[in-house]
Structure formats: structure tokens, C-alpha cells
Amino acid sequence: MQQLAPPAAGTAPLPPPGEPIITVNGVSKVYGEQRALNDINLVVPRGVIVGVIGPSGCGKTTLIRTLTGIEVPTDGEVRVFGVDPAHFRIRERTRFGYMPQLPVLFPNLSVWGNLGFIASVYGMPLRHRKRRLLELLELVDLAPHRDKQLADCSGGMQRRLTLAATLVHEPELLYLDEPTAGVDPILRERFWGHFRALRDQGKTIVVPTQYVNEAVSCDVVAVMAAGRLLTVQEPSGLARTAYGGDVVHVQFAGGWVRGEELARLRTFDFVESITRTDDGILAVVHSADRDTRRVREHFEAAGVALSAVEPYEPTYDEMFVQLIARLTTTEERSAA
């Protein structure tokens, strides 16, 4: 079973500490001939932010809908709070909040009216309600628009109000599907600051997102493609998983190098792979701390002029593309 914890030697992660709040065992979901989820295994402990990252259509939303009980797995088992979500009672349903991708609020009500209605659904006492709703409208930067009819609000404003509505009853488990879509960078960081504060209070947050750089704000990142869960990693482990080692950027003073020197470098046992760039190469090695010097010494011994040899920190977008390519290929080889 794939667990949320640092992996051992880049392979299967270790069991998580503490009590799990979500357990997914061998879950698949099939619609006709389409397999939206394919043998998903996942354990989520309490008090973490889990980013679920993958391309559009990879199964992120289907997974979340299965965790809420909206969808029932074709195969496998799901437990949230120790209960099958399909059999949730009112007590379990009030313990989580779900922010879907599509609008679910009432266009003919005002911003304040929508939020007040959701608060009443969850039985929030009137004496606490006004202060709570004002806090949430401040968080999502909608306080000046509280009297505006939702139909007159932009799509981004409606998304922000949906987030506020999801948070209104202070649930212990949050599913936030693309919570920062259409949100400006300043407000996006405010949201993530609030998510981290909720995590620090012991809340558990699952965030499907296509904003790959948001992985840095998560405690753990689950990467999905084509209905499969490819890997579960701490953000710091994504680069090694994506590239199969540490990456060293070699820049040549002349902008190029003879092919035979690259061929010789590939024969060294500490080199995993080499990729050409516009100004040099990216060499994947076992350890950047140790092997950067060895790469430099190889080219200097061959008389190749260098402008820089240094560890390379790929962007999260680069990691994601590499992860999908590398792990999807691995899955295909394993299935063959």
C-alpha cells in the first residue's frame, strides 16, 4: 500500500506515523469502457496537507468524489474516519468540507446570503455566525462585496466564495479541488498561509491542483496520471524521483563539446543519464555533493573549457513533466 511518508531509498514509502484519517485500498472506478481510477492505494494521516497533482483528466476529481461518498468505487475499499463514505451519516458529513470545481452556490442570493445559508445548514449558532462569516469574507477578499448578488460576481469571486463556504463550519478534513484557480498570486499566498495554519491546528487538507509549483506548500505530494497514483513523496524528494538521481548543470565556455567526451562520461558508473541543453548538458548523477567535482575533473582532463559546473535545481514544472514521463514509462514496462 502506498503510504504518506518519506520513501526508503526512493522506493515504496514507509507507513505513516499517527492515526490515518483516509485509507484507500485497491480502488478502481470504471465508467463504461473508461477506467477513471486504476488500483489506487493511499493512506493519509491526520494533520497534513496532501497535494494531488496531475494533468487534466487524470482522475484527481474522481478520487476526491470517491472519498466524499459521491462516487462508489467499482473495485476496492475506501475508509474515511474509519467509515465507508458511501454510508456516511450526518455526523461524518459534518466533519469534512468539500470545495468542488463547479459552482454549487445560489446565483440569486447575495454573497452574504449564500454564506449565511451554508452556516445555517451546518447549524451554526446565530451568536457566533456574523463574526465567523466576516472573518471568512476578509480571508477571501469579498467583504466589500457582501451585498452583491452572486450572479453579478466574476467567476473568480464565485470560486473564492465557494472556498469560504467550505470553511464555514470549521471541518477537520478538507477536500479543496483547485482552490486557487483564477486567484491572483497575492491572494493565492494568503490562502496557502491559511491552509498551513489550519494544518498546524491538526486539520487534514487534500488539494488536487494543476498548479504544480504549489507542491512546495504541501507536506506530501501525490502524482497522478491516467487514473494511476504514480508516486507519493515529500516535495524535497520529487526531484530525485523524477530524474533518478541528482542533477548537475554543465555549461561549456564554447557552448558545445565533442560527442566522444559525452560518450565517455556516460560510461562512468556514477552517471545515470545525460541530456543536452542550449549551453551545455544536464547530467544525472548519484550524488551532487560528491559527483559534481568528478564531472568537472572529467572535462578539465579532456581540455574542455567550462564556464560553470554546479548542482541544478529543477522547477516543479520540470519535475512534474519528468515524473510523468519517467514513471508512466516504468508502469508500462511493469505491465508488459
Top-confidence residue, 10 or 99: 99
Lay out the sheet containing 75-80: strands in order across. 34-45, 20-31, 75-80
**pLDDT (mean) for 55-62:** 90
Residue 25: beta bridge partners?
Answer: 77
Q: 211: which 3 cell numbers?
A: 498548479
Q: Where along the chain do its domains lie?
A: 20-239, 244-335
Is residue 327 very low, low, confident or very high in pLDDT (cuts 50, 70, 90)?
low
**pLDDT (mean) for 226-244:** 89
Q: Nearest to residue 16, comparing CAs of 32, 4, 31?
A: 4
Fold agreement (20-239, 244-335): no
pLDDT in tens, 257-310: 778 888 889 999 999 999 888 888 999 999 988 999 999 999 999 888 899 999
Cβ–Cβ < 8 Å for 251, 83: no
pLDDT in tens, 65-124: 999 999 999 999 999 999 999 999 999 999 999 999 888 899 999 999 999 999 999 988
pLDDT of res. 125: 87
Helices (H), 86-184: 90-93, 111-121, 126-139, 155-167
The pTM score is: 0.83
Side-chain half-sphere CA neighbours of 323 within 13 A: 29
Q: Nearest to residue 301, comparing CAs of 334, 269, 268, 325?
A: 268
Instruction: Name the CATH superfamily housing domain 20-239.
Output: P-loop containing nucleotide triphosphate hydrolases (3.40.50.300)
Classify residue 322 as exposed, middle or buried by CB count within 10 Å of its CB (0-12, 13-18, 19+): buried
pLDDT of res. 216: 85
pLDDT of res. 7: 30
* Longest CA pairwise span in the chain (Å): 78
CATH domain 244-335 topology:
Alpha-Beta Plaits (3.30.70)
Distance CA 190, CA 14 (A): 32
Classify residue 196 as exposed, middle or buried by CB count within 10 Å of its CB (0-12, 13-18, 19+): middle
Distances (CA, A) of 262 to 181, 250, 265, 311: 43, 11, 5, 18
pLDDT of res. 214: 86
pLDDT in tens, 174-214: 999 989 888 888 888 989 999 999 999 999 999 998 888 88
Top-confidence residue, 322 or 147: 147
pLDDT of res. 8: 31
